[in-house]
Structure 1
Amino acid sequence: MIIEPKDFNVKELSYSIRSAVIKDAGTLSKLRVQIDGETENMDRERGEAYIDSAGMETIIKKDSLRSIFLVAVIDNRIVGYSRCEGTDLKRLLHKVEFGVCVLKEFWGYSIGKNLLQESISWADSVGIKKMTLNVLETNHKAIELYKKHGFEVEGILKQDKLLADGIFYSTIVMGRFKEK
């Protein structure tokens, strides 16, 4: 599904959020690798589970009533993205899994928050009843952001990730149910 582009201005930084298109695939492939290397908040280390341009094209083409891929753009440069991915399994048609990432140099400009809000608006508009996500226990800003937008902790995956410091960290499983 394609959403109408939306413009934002935060701390004198102007950017837009729009649906990803096929021509974004190569950029998104490279951006994913870069973001994975900038933070341990992601599941992957730089280069792991690499998705090439053709793979990104396939993901973008899968957008439907249960999946959407959004990008944040500054001066024609993609600086972040989010993905809501659903399934065609009948028992799971009501929900999507959400993920978001933003280049570290653009943290603090509400790009992640606005990608989240646009994803929530999309999900609500197409009848999605539940959004789920996983977040590293040390990512306190993200956890608070998700709570402010109606997500609640549904569980904890204890000692779920081994980070570079040699310590195991837990993953927080969160969900948001569409208000009736």
Structure 2
Amino acid sequence: MVINQQIYHVKGLQYIIRSAHIRDANELSHLRVQLDGETENLDRESGEGYMTLNVLETNKKAIDLYEKFGFEVEGVLKNDKVLSDGKFYNTVVMGRFA
């Protein structure tokens, strides 16, 4: 998909929305590696074996199975997924110590 360049000025900052160019590839690769390194272990406490997962609220069988294995509901992301039916659904965030 090609996006025509659009320039926005908001609160003294300039934002440019455009399609990526081949010359952007190297910079984007470095940024992706940096982000992956920074976010790789965000779901784990230091020195603890903590695991998290996300599951769609309508997947009751999966939620029941995860609870059997000791996962607990930690929160709900409201209306964060839109599916092919055009409706919004909640995501259940679950976690447990290993």
TM bracket (short chain): 0.5 to 0.7
RMSD over aligned CA atoms reads 2.3
What is residue 61 of structure 2 aligned with on the other side?
Answer: 141
Can you list the C-alpha shifts for 1:91-110, whole angstroms capped at 9, x where unaligned? 8444xxxxxxxxxxxxxxxx
What is residue 164 of structure 1 aligned with on the other side?
Answer: 84
What is residue 10 of structure 1 aligned with on the other side?
Answer: none
Bigger RCO (CA 8 Å, 6+ sep):
2
Can you list the C-alpha shifts for 1:97-131, whole angstroms capped at 9, x where unaligned? xxxxxxxxxxxxxxxxxxxxxxxxxxxxxxx5211
1:174 and 2:94 are equivalent in the alignment: yes
Unaligned runs of 5+ in 1: 1-85, 95-127
Q: 1:161 & 1:150 partners in 2: Cα distance? A: 25
What is residue 17 of structure 2 aligned with on the other side?
Answer: none
Q: Which has the larger radius of gyration?
A: 2
2:86 is paired with a residue of what secondary structure? Answer: coil
Unaligned runs of 5+ in 2: 1-39
CA shift, 1:177, in A, is 1.6
Q: 2:45 & 2:50 partners in 1: Cα distance? A: 10
Can you list the C-alpha shifts for 1:67-104, whole angstroms capped at 9, x where unaligned? xxxxxxxxxxxxxxxxxxx53x7x8444xxxxxxxxxx
Q: How many residues align?
A: 59
1:142 is paired with a residue of what secondary structure? Answer: helix
What is residue 70 of structure 2 aligned with on the other side?
Answer: 150
Change (3 A) 1:92 1:130: closer
Can you list the C-alpha shifts for 1:16-69, whole angstroms capped at 9, x where unaligned? xxxxxxxxxxxxxxxxxxxxxxxxxxxxxxxxxxxxxxxxxxxxxxxxxxxxxx
TM-score between the two structures when normalised by the length of structure 1: 0.30
